Structure 1
Amino acid sequence: MPLPLCLLALAVFAMGTSEFMLAGLLPDIASDLGVSVGTAGTLTSAFAVGMIVGAPLVAALARDWPARGSLLAFALVFSAAHAVGAVTTSFVVLSATRVVAAVANAGFLAVALTTAAELVPPGRKGRALAVLLSGTTVATIAGVPGGSLLGTLLGWRATFWAVALVCLPAALGILKGIPARPRLGRTHPAAGPALRVEISQLRSPRLLLVMLLGALVNAATFGSFTFLAPLVTDAAGLARPWIPVVLVLFGAGSFAGVTVAGRLSDRRPGLVVAAGGPLLLVGWPALAVLAEHQVAFLTLVFAQGALSFAVGSTLITRVLYEAAGAPTMAGAYATAALNVGAAVGPLVAAATLDPVGNRGPLWASGLLVLAALLAALPLSRARRPSRAR
């Protein structure tokens, strides 16, 4: 894979760490800024909303900008937002920095997804996406536990500073590694289709269906991932220090899944979904039923991480293929699908906690995957799309 693609993955690593790190920092933030833990939890919602709204909006605004300049600007804004968040004493300002960071993250990911597809030969979009998303999976393996440990040792502000600093070498790599392209105005002969033409791609039933499937699988993934910690200490009966171990195990599975799927999602996407989807469906209820058996619990956590990201990344790759007629907006559509799932999944899972208990999110994830598989039936019966567009 090209070096510039790895540099993009480094930035995605920093941004993924930021997106998930608050789970271990909320009590300290609440205490320091004089708000309740519940109020501090709205920082997660602020980030999710910024991602969902920011992806299509920023991609539309930046569609005529050179990719290198756009990616550099988004990375620097993201870094600056964390630097401001690290020094503020106001919860309102901190909330605003989370929205700004999320919009920059969404814009970066939307452009990066499109750029990554352009950095590799035709028919290898899936592998390029796997490398890019490996930044997120490594964030769950190393970034989030590391950020939590840093916050415990030096305070939550140190974690914000660390994220800001990690963005700087990524920004330098983008400046040096991403090829410069001249700005293409709308009348330039090499310019892509007009924005209204790209937006009209959303009328495609296949594109909308694949976006829905990606959102549902991602909702299942983050619905259970968000509430893994209580399962570790309650249902599985493991000591509190096992929580980061389980999170790392899930992240290791996700890295394995996205790596394997990256080699199959371009040529055999149907195989990944047909084989991985039913296993994913069975796995979430199995994890709920077998949670008290520690070996089974740990094994299934790894397996569900692998299956979730294998199936999810394959579906997001299909979004890029189905949106081939929207070259500058395809990444935004994929980003929006990812983050609608990331925002909706924890809400659905949280609604099950009172009536069902700590295993409720696992059952909810199973239902979300079932909905995805049922929705995918028309797609499986339809004529297969061309192999590479």
Structure 2
Amino acid sequence: MRETDLEDGMGEGVTGTAAREPAVRGPRRPRAARRTVAVLGTGVFAIGTDMFVVAGVLGGIATDLGVSVGSAGLAVTVFALAYAVGAVLLAPSLSVRSPRRVLVVSSAAFAVLNVSAALAPELPALLAARALGALAASAYVPAASAAAAAVMPASHRGRALGTIVGCMSAATVLGAPAGVLLASMLSWRAAFALPAVLAAVTGLLLTGDVSRPPARREPPECGEPSASGGEVPGPGGAGRRGRQRVSPRQRQPRPRPSLRHRPPLPHADPELGARRRAAVRARLRPMGSPAVAATLVVTFLLMTASYSTYTYLPQLPAAAAVPLGSGLFIAVFGLAGTAGTWWGGSAADRRGPGRVVGPALVVSAVAFAVLPHATAVVAVVTVAAWGVAVWGFVPAQQHRLIGLGTAAPPLLLALHSGAVHLGSAAGSLLGGLVVDTAGAARLWTVAVVCCGAAWAVHTVLVRTVLVGKEKGS
């Protein structure tokens, strides 16, 4: 990948998915640019697979490592928590680095750490590999989004970003079920090997400069041999009579840059630490708005409810009564989520975010209450309804945050992503405690309580803060 294509057009480096207008209107080779976006999407697909596949292999992890299912669920908790912290704190620190280097190093680190997770002999080693892998993932995903927008012309930038988001969604439909299938045939360790291979391939392709254009030759100086074997015309005019012959002795060597005059390295910049701290403070500043804080709380509570159930889908009675078990549930959840994302975004545009968020909370609460006690067929339908509701909820909340106008959209979306992953960590932790103490049949209690709290905050937010600001609320 051409490094200038990645660096030109990136607004805040790896700190956001928005990119400023590139120095050139678009790459010279559109096919190479599309290939670059595909390579970047492969890395996102690997990360998404790693995020969602663990829920389907918790039983194997618990049995092999000799721990409870709730303790094995910490593999989801530490990943989500580390990813949320990395998205808020690590990305601003990397904004001064080369985008291409961030992509290559983070994808390679993610691959190595997934191999370490696959080879982990005990739970502490697995958790350490998961936490470090999440930090690498939190550096790669925003950098890949920004790079995908930078290498494409402005007219195709939305499609490039849609490809990156689509690869994350495809991981729930294809990647995670494939990992569960491999785990059922081989071992739970194979589920971690799959994203490791995909990430390694991504790193190799990114290192190979897949979109580098043909190198441009510098024009030869007057009297120097040209590429065709002749000489470049001198100031006397074209033709043989106007050419000037310069002997090698008369040519002046080009001065070489002195090491003393080279610019300081980024790590030697005395103001680097201050800039990093300022970037982190700027990211957290919008949370001072009551509307932003309340919106993030609603997202956190629903994600806590969702992941308290999703993480432990294999432990539900209905999972053992359907083909492929939890793998089928994960695939249905992903397919429904794809439809839900489209529904949530379009409905928020037409009727306002409030008309999406409220129904999503109600449908999710009903699904959580029914799922532990449902038959196989009813459980599949319930998972589909839950997937539509939860995934439709996300773009509606993003729509609401951007509409508040309290900060730049990339900054607000980054905070929302942090709330999603913090909720994932809290949900998997609470769900594990419930499974170990009361059994999977009681998971619905935590989920429904969280949905009720989210509904209360949402209602207060709309009636007191957002009254008259949202169409249809």
Using the size of structure 1 for normalisation, the TM-score is: 0.77
Alignment match, 2:418: 336
CA-CA distance at 1:367 after TM superposition:
1.8
Equivalenced residue count is 375
Question: Which whole-Å CA distance do the structure 2 matches of 1:110 and 1:256 have between them?
Answer: 24
Alignment match, 1:312: 394
Pick from 198, 214, 221 the counterpart of residue 166 of structure 1.
198
CA-CA distance at 1:301 after TM superposition:
1.9
CA-CA distance at 1:332 after TM superposition:
4.2
1:64 aligns with 2:96: yes
* Alignment of structure 1 residues 94-109 onto 2, 5 Å: 94-109=126-141
Question: Which whole-Å CA distance do the structure 1 matches of 2:157 and 2:291 have between them?
Answer: 18
Alignment match, 2:237: none
CA-CA distance at 1:232 after TM superposition:
4.8
- More displaced, 61-70 or 280-289? 280-289
Q: Which amino acid aligns with 1:98?
A: R
Deviations 1:158-214 (A, max 9, x none): 22221111113333565657999xx99999xxx999524454344344433333333
Question: Which whole-Å CA distance do the structure 1 matches of 2:144 and 2:402 have between them?
Answer: 12
Q: What's the Cα RMSD here?
A: 4.2
CA-CA distance at 1:261 after TM superposition:
4.0
1:74 aligns with 2:144: no
Alignment match, 1:50: 82
Question: Which whole-Å CA distance do the structure 1 matches of 2:358 and 2:137 have between them?
Answer: 32
Question: Which whole-Å CA distance do the structure 2 matches of 1:193 and 1:350 have between them?
Answer: 35
Question: Which whole-Å CA distance do the structure 2 matches of 1:374 and 1:123 have between them?
Answer: 39
The structure with the largest alpha-carbon Rg is: 2
Which consecutive unaligned segments of at least 5 residues does structure 2 have?
1-32, 214-264
Distance 1:73 1:375, change over 3 A: farther
Question: Which whole-Å CA distance do the structure 2 matches of 1:285 and 1:72 have between them?
Answer: 41
Q: Which amino acid aligns with 1:218?
A: M
CA-CA distance at 1:79 after TM superposition:
0.9
Deviations 1:47-102 (A, max 9, x none): 22212222212112112123332233222111111122233434433222111101
Question: Which whole-Å CA distance do the structure 2 matches of 1:214 and 1:379 have between them?
Answer: 17
Alignment match, 1:226: 311
Alignment match, 2:374: 292
Distance 1:192 1:151, change over 3 A: closer
Deviations 1:99-152 (A, max 9, x none): 110111122234445556767899999987654343333222222222122122
- More displaced, 318-327 or 102-111? 318-327
Question: Which whole-Å CA distance do the structure 1 matches of 2:212 and 2:286 have between them?
Answer: 28
Point out the structure with the larger helix share: 1
Deviations 1:294-319 (A, max 9, x none): 55543332122012112113324655
Question: Which whole-Å CA distance do the structure 2 matches of 1:119 and 1:316 have between them?
Answer: 25
Which consecutive unaligned segments of at least 5 residues does structure 1 have?
none
Q: Which amino acid aligns with 1:238?
A: A
Question: Which whole-Å CA distance do the structure 2 matches of 1:63 and 1:282 have between them?
Answer: 40
Question: Which whole-Å CA distance do the structure 2 matches of 1:212 and 1:177 have between them?
Answer: 42
Deviations 1:215-237 (A, max 9, x none): 23322332332243444528xx9
- More displaced, 314-323 or 144-153? 314-323
Alignment match, 2:172: 140
- More displaced, 14-23 or 373-382? 373-382
Question: Which whole-Å CA distance do the structure 1 matches of 2:146 and 2:119 have between them?
Answer: 34
1:157 aligns with 2:189: yes
Pick from 359, 384, 397 the counterpart of residue 279 of structure 1.
359
Distance 1:350 1:91, change over 3 A: closer
Checking the alignment, whether the CA contact within 8 Å between 1:111 and 1:331 is kept in structure 2 is no
Q: Which amino acid aligns with 1:244?
A: G
Checking the alignment, whether the CA contact within 8 Å between 2:77 and 2:424 is kept in structure 1 is no
Pick from 324, 335, 345 the counterpart of residue 252 of structure 1.
335
Checking the alignment, whether the CA contact within 8 Å between 1:75 and 1:108 is kept in structure 2 is yes
CA-CA distance at 1:365 after TM superposition:
5.1
Checking the alignment, whether the CA contact within 8 Å between 1:8 and 1:112 is kept in structure 2 is yes
Question: Which whole-Å CA distance do the structure 1 matches of 2:453 and 2:181 have between them?
Answer: 32
Pick from 448, 460, 464 the counterpart of residue 363 of structure 1.
448
Checking the alignment, whether the CA contact within 8 Å between 1:218 and 1:345 is kept in structure 2 is yes
* Alignment of structure 1 residues 105-124 onto 2, 5 Å: 105-112=137-144
Checking the alignment, whether the CA contact within 8 Å between 1:52 and 1:339 is kept in structure 2 is yes
Using the size of structure 2 for normalisation, the TM-score is: 0.65
- 3-state SS, counterpart of residue 152 of structure 1: helix
Q: Which amino acid aligns with 2:321?
A: L
